[in-house]
Amino acid sequence: MNSDTSYGESTARGTSGKGSSTSSTDKKKEKARVSRTSMILWHAHQNDIGAVRKLLEEDESLVHARDYDNRTPLHVASLHGWIDVAKCLLEHGADVNAQDRWKNTPLADAEGAKKHTMIELLKSYGGLSYGQSGSHFEPKPVLPPLPNKCDWEIDPSELDFSSSNIIGKGSFGEILKASWRGTPVAVKRILPSLSDDKLVIQDFRHEVKVLVKLRHPNVVQFLGAVTDKKPLMLITEYLRGGDLHQHLKEKGSLSASTAINFALDIARGMAYLHNEPNVIIHRDLKPRNVLLVNTSAEHLKVGDFGLSKLIKVQHCHDVYKMTGETGSYRYMAPEVFKHRKYDKKVDVFSFAMILYEMLEGDPPFSNYEPYEAAKYAAAGHRPPFRSKSYTPELRDLTEKCWAADMNQRPSFLDILKRLEKI
């Protein structure tokens, strides 16, 4: 995997398949292609028409680029309503009916996001609307959802727990691996004893409300929920690689290149979550809540939004701040520990602690208990740099991310730019 990739990592199509006999020239070409594939997806996401056009002039085949969720630049532009970018892609031969991992077309995305001008544009190019609720390629039509039920409500009889195993536990209940319509899934199941607890139900519904809005290659994908029968359940994609905490426990410190690639994935997911006007503050970013897509440990996704907050920002200069001690002590920002007002920069502080742990192999302040570690950090202390993997650039980035003054911490978009340069 390349350290300079951005947005969703490409699937690196077009490798020669010659194994060790592949020449260094072929490898360089492939690396450049993977980088360009990621770049066009990123620039489509950023509505940078100039950069998209320039990349297509250099390599027109990039119009068919795919991230590892099989989404094309046209999917990305359609979801956000970037008309000029979409027109440019279509003029260069983009497949208007390309299907992503969930079998959604660009038009299905535009309709879901209510981007009316984009809907008309795609239809004028022959765009069809099909996706999760049914496909033109299926031999039999899919029945519409039952009236008065949202399209993500799952019938618990469709969940197969016959070969399930517990993959996580919490005060609310447990997380199990199960099967839904033949697909492995992760199921967060609320304990029956808590099914009437108003606070638990409120938190559960809040997490569903947050997750249903999310769609990004570096964010765990929500599939559905059981909300009108007990036990209450939340269903997401199952990621075979486990969590980053366990990975670091087994592997120890990571190489600088691996840590940077992991950090890029986390920063991409967080940049998406922090995007205004609908800002989602995670508030519990830590290695246990960052999941590896597969056992080859190439990609990460941010998960567990039980403590997150969805903030509507009406104007770009609005101040949205909260108080209260929320999250995990070892990765907690000083302003949270001190019960002072805070905003989305608390996630940047936690990110710095995770980056430190990936490079050092040990959690920050590992010789302290979690509460004492948070107290020590709130007093102005920071863990010492020992690893040789900490280049001056990485050290400087980490120090800025865990700055005591949250206003001095960079945004995740700025972090992405710096990581890509490194």
Q: How confident is the model at residue 141 (pLDDT cuts 50, 70, 90)?
A: very low
Average pLDDT value for residue range 390-404: 95
pLDDT of residue 142: 42
Among 269, 297, 305, 270, residue whose Cα is nearest residue 358: 297
Long-range contacts of the stretch 180-185 (C-beta < 8 A, 24+): 180/154, 180/223, 180/224, 180/235, 183/238, 184/238, 184/240, 185/159, 185/223, 185/235, 185/236, 185/237, 185/238
Average pLDDT over the chain, rounded to whole? 83
User: Which tokens go with 173?
Assistant: 């209940």
Q: Is residue 109 pLDDT above 50, yes or no?
A: yes
Q: How confident is the model at residue 223 (pLDDT cuts 50, 70, 90)?
A: very high
Looking at mean pLDDT, say which of 292-296, 354-358, 388-392 comes out highest.
354-358
Measured CA distances, 66 to 13, 35, 61, 409 (Å): 9, 12, 11, 32
378 within 8 A of 337, measured Cβ to Cβ:
yes
Q: List CB contacts of 148: < 8 A, sequence separation 6 or more.
A: none
Among 232, 215, 226, 352, residue whose Cα is nearest residue 287: 352
pLDDT of residue 28: 61
pLDDT in tens, 54-73: 999 999 999 999 987 789 99
Q: What angle in degrees, to the nearest 10, is found between the helix axes of 244-251 and 345-360?
A: 20
Q: Which residue has the higher pLDDT, 316 or 73?
A: 73
Average pLDDT value for residue range 235-250: 93
pLDDT in tens, 149-185: 577 889 999 999 887 788 877 657 788 999 999 999 9
Phi, psi torsion values for 33, nearest 5 degrees:
-65, -45
235 within 8 A of 271, measured Cβ to Cβ:
no
Is residue 188 marked as binding? yes
198 within 8 A of 155, measured Cβ to Cβ:
no
Cis peptide before 231 (omega within 30 of 0): yes
pLDDT in tens, 246-281: 999 999 999 999 999 999 999 999 999 998 778 889
Q: Is residue 348 pLDDT above 80, yes or no?
A: yes
71 within 8 A of 101, measured Cβ to Cβ:
yes
Q: Is residue 245 pLDDT above 50, yes or no?
A: yes
pLDDT of residue 210: 82
Among 407, 402, 277, 286, residue whose Cα is nearest residue 341: 407
pLDDT of residue 166: 85
Q: Which residue has the higher pLDDT, 337 or 2?
A: 337
List, in sequence order, every residue forming a beta bridge with 170; answer none if it has no partner.
Answer: 173
Q: Is residue 140 pLDDT above 50, yes or no?
A: no
Write out the H or E segment, with its range, that includes residue 185.
strand 183-190
Q: How confident is the model at residue 318 (pLDDT cuts 50, 70, 90)?
A: very low
Q: Which residue has the higher pLDDT, 203 or 180?
A: 180
Sign of CA pseudo-dihedral 345, 347, 352, 353: positive
pLDDT of residue 102: 79
pLDDT of residue 29: 59
The C-alpha R_g of the chain, in whole angstroms, comes to 22
Bridge-based pairing of strands 173-180 and 159-170 is antiparallel
Average pLDDT value for residue range 314-324: 48
DSSP class per residue in 211-278 = HTT---TTBPPEEEEE-SSSS-EEEEE--TT-BHHHHHHHH-SPPHHHHHHHHHHHHHHHHHHT-SSE
Neighbours of 376 (CB within 10 A): 18
pLDDT of residue 397: 97
pLDDT of residue 275: 87
Q: Is residue 99 helix, strand or coil?
A: coil
Average pLDDT value for residue range 343-350: 94
Q: Is residue 137 pLDDT above 70, yes or no?
A: no
Among 329, 334, 383, 378, residue whose Cα is nearest residue 359: 383
Q: What angle in degrees, to the nearest 10, is found between the helix axes of 73-80 and 83-91?
A: 150
Q: Is residue 131 pLDDT above 60, yes or no?
A: yes
pLDDT in tens, 187-202: 989 887 777 777 778 7
Cα 243 to chain centroid distance, Å, stands at 14
Give the C-alpha separation, 30 to 328, whole Å: 41
- Predicted model pTM: 0.64
Report, as residue numbers or ranges, the catalytic residues: 284
Q: Which residue has the higher pLDDT, 209 or 318?
A: 209
| Proportion of the chain above pLDDT 70, given as a percent | 83
63 within 8 A of 41, measured Cβ to Cβ:
no
Q: List CB contacts of 395: < 8 A, sequence separation 6 or more.
A: 385
pLDDT of residue 31: 60
DSSP class per residue in 364-414 = TTTTS-HHHHHHHHHTT--PPP--TT--HHHHHHHHHHT-SSGGGSPPHHH
